[in-house]
Amino acid sequence: MKIFSPAKINLFLYVTGKRPDGYHTVKTLMCGIGLSDRILISFGKEETTCDCSHAGVPSGTANIAHRAAELFLTSIGKKGDDCRESVAISIEKRIPVGAGLGGGSSNAASVLLGLNRHYGHPLSKETLLSMGSSLGADVSFFIYGGPALAGGIGDILEPAPPIRPFKVVIIYPGIAVSTESVYRNLNFGLTNHEKENRKILFNESTFDPVVHLHNDLEAAAMMLCPDIGSAKQALLAAGADGVLMSGSGSAVFGVFFDNLRAVAAKRSLSRRNVAWQVFLTDVTV
């Protein structure tokens, strides 16, 4: 079975609190994009295995896609004394690693959805969403399908406001950023100044990416990767209608409502810095 595992961008991300267990709560608007990994699942194996084309992504049980497969197979009774069915997972990475684009979470969700389809949909969407939450905060979003407002630690989902389609040019600066490090550097007191803006934003009937793009984590991520700021400036200079860092970084995206300008921006930015990876894609609305 061959599966396409899509990336996501955060069109806004507000840090709204911190739980006693140390996890931060957020309010974020997530949207899928056309950039995707490719996953091959082979069935009838003696044990579950997982390998990845990217040297920086762990193999075996350390990979979230491996854990997703084992969780699914156990839940439908394919793991036990009377039945031991396993799969081999091979991931071809196109989504940059450590970029804030949700690649690992998407891989896990895609494995859950693919296995559910292969075995005749034994699990409901609600069950899959619950399984996704147990694996990681963003996994549920990729199971949900379509743009979504996410609360809690990113796992409480609700329908998103209407989003006007646009092209996306993404710059990955070539430096992976640790989500844990970004949150550790976050000045949570400064994010509280945005509360009044949040009230207005969350009541809007239509999301305007030019007006509403915002990410509370940008400043903390730029301390770890100054190239984030350089990438934002480069996208604006290339004609982007709006720019933002996605998730906890380090990838930055530009919103383009003009297709020809987006193509030209991708071409020029690809030549600007040899360390940058530049992608042109669409949002999934």
Give the phi and the psi of residue 104 in degrees, each rounded to 5: -65, -45
Whether 21 is a known active-site residue: answer no
> How many other C-beta atoms can be found within 10 angstroms of the C-beta atom of residue 117?
11
Q: Which of 138, 155, 216, 241 is catalytic?
A: 138
| Helices assigned H by DSSP within the chain | 64-75, 103-118, 125-135, 139-144, 179-185, 188-191, 195-202, 209-212, 218-224, 227-237, 259-272
Per-position DSSP letters for 76-121, written without gaps between them: TT-BSSS-B-EEEEEEE--SPTTSSS-HHHHHHHHHHHHHHHHTT-
Q: For residue 207, what are the β-bridge partners?
A: 163
Between CA 91 and CA 3 the distance in angstroms is 10
- Catalytic residue check, 138: yes
The residues annotated as belonging to the active site are 8, 138
